[in-house]
Amino acid sequence: MANIFEVPQPDNNLLKKADQVRLASIKISQTENQNRIKALNLMADYLERNTKKILEANIEDYKKAQNRGISNALLSRLKLSEEKLNSGIDGVRKVGNLADPVNQVQIKRELSKGLILERKTVPIGVIGVIFESRPDAVMQISSLAIRSGNVVMLKGGSEANLTNIAIVNALQEGLYESGLDKNAICLLTSRKDSMSMLNLENFINLIIPRGSNELVKFIQENTRIPVLGHADGICHLFVDNEANLEMALSVALDSKIQYPAACNAIETLLLHKDIAKVFLEKAIPLFDSNDVKLIGDKRSFELGLKYEASLEDWQTEYLDLILSIKIVDDLDEAITHIQRYSSKHTDGIITENSHNANRFMNIVNSAGVFHNCSTRFADGFRYGFGAEVGISTQTLPPRGPVGLEGLVTYKYFLKGDGNIVHDFSSGKAIYTHKDL
Amino acid sequence: MANIFEVPQPDNNLLKKADQVRLASIKISQTENQNRIKALNLMADYLERNTKKILEANIEDYKKAQNRGISNALLSRLKLSEEKLNSGIDGVRKVGNLADPVNQVQIKRELSKGLILERKTVPIGVIGVIFESRPDAVMQISSLAIRSGNVVMLKGGSEANLTNIAIVNALQEGLYESGLDKNAICLLTSRKDSMSMLNLENFINLIIPRGSNELVKFIQENTRIPVLGHADGICHLFVDNEANLEMALSVALDSKIQYPAACNAIETLLLHKDIAKVFLEKAIPLFDSNDVKLIGDKRSFELGLKYEASLEDWQTEYLDLILSIKIVDDLDEAITHIQRYSSKHTDGIITENSHNANRFMNIVNSAGVFHNCSTRFADGFRYGFGAEVGISTQTLPPRGPVGLEGLVTYKYFLKGDGNIVHDFSSGKAIYTHKDL
């Protein structure tokens, strides 16, 4: 917020598009569950029919990106194999099978005779999505949005433009055939539009960024629109002095190497001083044989680590086969370290002492607090949500892995027969507050 | 956000206080329901015991404010009569009787054998409260915070400083006697501290502003901390051509005059062109006799209103006995007007046509959509929440009148016996996703 606000104002062309999307949002918000399921099935059908076109567009994008000398990591995310596309199409159908998150009655209450309050879930409205590379994200986020009665304004990385256009065209054909407004999925292709989106607070109700920490941070700091997501994922695992050491080794290894580029992989391992020596004797060769570089504080360096950590290590999300290690005097020092450096994503403890486990889980204020299991379980699919919109590290809900429920809000519907508040202050009417 | 960010950085003294509050927050978050109920009862007891001190402090504040020539409206809000104080104390006890919002299990699910996920409500942490005048707000917001396991940093208007100090001292004595940390309720008294609070994003998890629209807007635009509240309350009532006219008159009058300074009072009345003439024939003398100034668009001006509206009228929250009136061609024009000018607080329709009512309620995207009843019902007490933290006009939850549930968030607790994700990718383990 201390930054100068450099995001350009939307031009007339973008405003016109945004208004079309807004109108599509009003239409889709009034659809029945069956309409939206039908739309998802047709979206999947049209993706299938256009497989060849989409894959060809991707090959074109890929060639251009190679010529422009884009990094290998980005290239591999850009690449859409037939298998990846099919799995994306399958994902669209699966989202169709998830329970309808809209029109769920949360409160139904008689406030007084003839005066009925209902709180029902409703779509959020227009979701802005800004993502890098990964064209499969278009299918995933569009299907989640339509399932929940929302519409999307998408902006992908320019390196995937042709692929994204081909995918969005197919999705729009499906929408159109199902009777929905094809503007419910809108793709922006210029970088200027993507930045101006951040100033569309009168049109866009929620922004979901999918990309690097830098992208997410930039968006969070340059828009008034609520942002669902997280920048850093600095997760910790604390091995207590009453830990089962075999379990600690296995869970620590899994939390680091099972998929090191994931936000729920650990970056720092905290070891109770009483078990540090015996743990490290086994851990050093184990992590070595798995190509994990261990960087330790002074005490663990003295116990045989090859690299010594600097302050920066505790603040770094390596997203790589690197793990920082710190030896702490006790549970409280571990908690204090986590409170200072955790990004409040997921932090775990390994211990056989349930008092210590509960103390850790109650005090550590992260979206996920884990006991005797891998931090890699912090994920919407693994939690059984069927789909994941993103993972939020903020304190207020939605928090942690967010499923479809993150794409709805609620509204209060009050129906009366002429009820006025004056009758209550004059004593003519009374509140009954009876849940129905 | 386009504003230059002029809020001062917190000084060491404030940082020290904030850290004490943070520690108090960790302690209270681990208390049982009974501890917190006991604390509320003792807080009420100590307020009672200190009645004389508090009232004397208020007389002192009041005299000073009079001498400084403060407005009558502010003076009347500053004034704490014995009756107002007693009703505040009664409020503290009532909050004690509300159901515990903390530790509520929202999800309990076996993810796989031996791996149990629980999602439970937890306190938000540290609530920053910035309010003007009204010392009764201290009692209300402090009791709601303690009830829900949170702590508060309070900053009141300087004109009420002595009163606020006397109240907070009494509350802290009650906290202390109940065994809780008295830093759970912390009062800041300098204006500089109040501004610096907005930069305490590492300590404060939520800010609740209580005061003028200008105060709320300033806070929303100058902090990264989530803000619960609303600035404008521009509510509308649309009288459809199929309305019961007697009902329309009665509800319109109640929505305007029952308490015109409230955020849920209407500012604009929209009239279907087919009933405008007959409605206004009765409405003009009725509103006249209740001292309501009617300001109309061209068409209603021609039907006998004395004042003609400018564009500004549709954007103004009068908070007074003034009502703007616009004649529209149909339901859709009414909805379009509301979409443009509503602050998304509460908007209502009067009609006997249920199709029109549903269309209005589904399309209008406000926190409350009302049919055939006064907009003045938009209130936490009237909704049966027992207490109100504030009213939110944002699209995402919490939305509308927010009760105690707005002061909790949730956390995912995952307990295993050494479970690792590798076992699932290798096929050794499977997800069961069984709700318990």
Residue B198 and residue B256 in one domain? no
Residue A137 pLDDT more than 90? no
Q: Using CB atoms, which residue from A357, A378, A412 is nearest to B400?
A: A412
Confidence of residue A292 (pLDDT cuts 50, 70, 90): very high
* A29 contacts in chain B (CB < 8 Å): 362-363
Residue A190 or residue B371, greater confidence: B371
Q: How confident is the model over B27-37, as a mean pLDDT?
A: 94
- What is the distance in angstroms between the Cα of B187 and the nearest Cα belonging to chain A? 23
- Cβ <8 Å between A422 and B396: no
Q: Say whether A109 and B384 touch across the interface (CB within 8 A).
A: yes
Nearest residue, CB atoms, B368 vs list A29, A244, A414: A414
If asked whether residues B210 and B301 sit together in one domain, one would say no
CA distance B183 to chain A (A): 18
The answer to whether residue B330 is domain-embedded is: yes
Residues of B in contact with A401 (CB under 8 A): 412
Instruction: Judge whether A217 and A317 are in contact, CB under 8 Å.
Output: no
pLDDT tens digits, B56-73: 999 999 999 999 988 887
Contacts of B431 in chain A (CB under 8 A): 382, 384
Decide if B395 and A125 are in contact by the 8 Å CB cutoff: yes
What is the predicted pLDDT for the residue at B2? 36
Whether A202 and A64 map to the same domain: the answer is yes
d(CA A211, CA A139): 16
- CATH of residue A338: 3.40.309.10
Q: Do A367 and B412 touch (CB under 8 A)?
A: yes
Q: Do B383 and A205 touch (CB under 8 A)?
A: no
Contacts of B324 (CB under 8 A, 6+ apart): B267, B268, B269, B294, B295, B296, B309, B313, B314, B316
B391: chain A residues, CB-CB within 8 Å: none
Decide if B372 contacts A415 (C-beta within 8 A). yes
Which chain A residues are within 8 Å of B29, Cβ to Cβ? Answer: 362-363
Asked if residue B156 lies in contact with residue B215, where contact means CB atoms within 8 angstroms, the answer is no
**A99, part of any domain:** yes
Interface test with B, best of A102, A124, A377, A417 (most B CBs within 10 A): A377
Is the pLDDT score of A314 beyond 70? Answer: yes
Q: For tokens 């209740």, name the residue.
A: B290
* Measured distance CA(B42)–CA(B93) in Å, rounded: 9
C-alpha to C-alpha distances, A300 to A203, A279, B365, nearest whole angstrom: 53, 11, 57
Helix A51-67 with A33-49: angle, nearest 10 deg = 70
User: How close, in Å, is residue B65 to chain A by CA atoms?
Assistant: 32
Q: How far is A103 from chain B (nearest CA, A)?
A: 11
- Rounded to a whole number, what is the distance in Å from the CA of B177 to chain A's nearest CA? 24
Counting one residue from chain A and one from chain B, the pairs whose CB atoms sit within 8 A come to: 218
B111–A370: do the CB atoms touch at under 8 Å? no
* Shared domain check, A241 and A183: no
ipTM: 0.93
Tell me if the pTM is above 0.90: yes
Following DSSP, what letter does each residue of A281-329 receive, concatenated? HHHHHHHHHTTPEEEE-HHHHHTT-SEE--HHHHT----SSEEEEEEES
Residue among B30, B370, B410 whose CB faces A399 most closely:
B410
Residues A257 and A133 in one domain: no
Residue B128 lies inside a defined structural domain of this protein? yes
Q: What is the mean pLDDT of residues A91-117?
A: 96
Decide if A122 contacts A149 (C-beta within 8 A): yes
Report the half-sphere exposure of B164 (CA within 13 A, side-chain side).
27
Smallest Cβ distance to A410: which of B205, B399, B410? B399
Among A334, A359, A377, identify where a domain stops: A377
User: Which among A357, A383, A417 has the least Cβ separation from residue B117?
Assistant: A383
The one-letter code for the residue type at A120 is K
Do B258 and B134 share a structural domain? Answer: no
Looking at the structure, tell me whether residues A250 and A164 fall in a common domain. no
At residue B1, the pLDDT reads 39
| Band (A299; pLDDT cuts 50, 70, 90) | very high
Of B109, B400, B411, the CB nearest to A367: B411
- Of A360, A377, A394, the position where a domain reaches its end is A377
Specify the pLDDT at position B4. 40
Interface test with B, best of A336, A350, A354, A382 (most B CBs within 10 A): A382
Instruction: Select from A191, A221, A251 the last residue of a domain.
Output: A221
- pLDDT on residue A1: 39
Out of A224, A258, A362, name the one closest to residue B29 (CB). Answer: A362
* C-alpha span between B115 and B104 (Å, rounded): 20
- pLDDT above 60 for B332: yes
| Residues facing residue A79 across a β-bridge | none
A372·B205 Cβ contact <8 A: no
B208, B265: one domain: no
Q: Are residues A177 and A287 in the same domain?
A: no
Domain containing residue A199: 12-221
B395 vs A205: CB contact, 8 Å cut-off?
yes
Residues B210, B329 within the same domain: no
Q: Is the pLDDT of residue B243 over 60?
A: yes
B53 and B82 belong to one structural domain: yes
Q: How many residues are there in chain B?
A: 436
A418 falls within a domain: no
| Residue B420 falls inside a structural domain | no
What is the tally of structural domains in chain B? Answer: 2
| Residue B248 resides in a domain | yes
b/e map B33-60, b = 16+ CB within 10 Å? eebbbbbbbbbbbbbeebeebbbebbee
Nearest by CB: B373 against A2, A258, A419: A419
Mean pLDDT score of chain B: 93
Facing A111 at nearest CB: one of B205, B254, B382: B382
Is A367's CB within 8 Å of B206's CB?
no
- Asked whether the beta carbons of residue B368 and residue A412 sit closer than 8 angstroms, the reply is yes
pLDDT for the residue A213: 83
* Pair (A127, A95) in one structural domain: yes
Q: Identify which has the larger pLDDT, B40 or B9.
A: B40
Give pLDDT, residue A4: 40
- Which of A1-10, A72-81, B352-361 has the least mean pLDDT? A1-10
Residue from B420, B425, B431, B433 to probe the interface with A (highest A Cβ count within 10 Å): B420
Other beta carbons within 10 angstroms of residue A84's beta carbon come to 15
pLDDT at A221 over 80: yes
In a domain? residue A419: no
Residues in chain B with CB shorter than 8 Å from the CB of A26 are 363
Which of B102, B198, B365, B402 would you mutate first to test chain A, the one with the most A CBs within 10 A?
A: B365
Q: What is the mean pLDDT of residues A123-135?
A: 90
Residue B136 in any domain: the answer is: yes
Residue of A nearest to B408 (CA): A396
Going by pLDDT thresholds of 50, 70 and 90, the confidence category of residue B74 is confident
**A5 Cα to chain B: minimum distance (Å):** 6
Q: What integer is the mean pLDDT of A374-394?
A: 93
Question: pLDDT per residue over B269-291, tens digit each?
Answer: 999 999 999 999 999 999 999 99
CATH of the domain at A151: 3.40.605.10
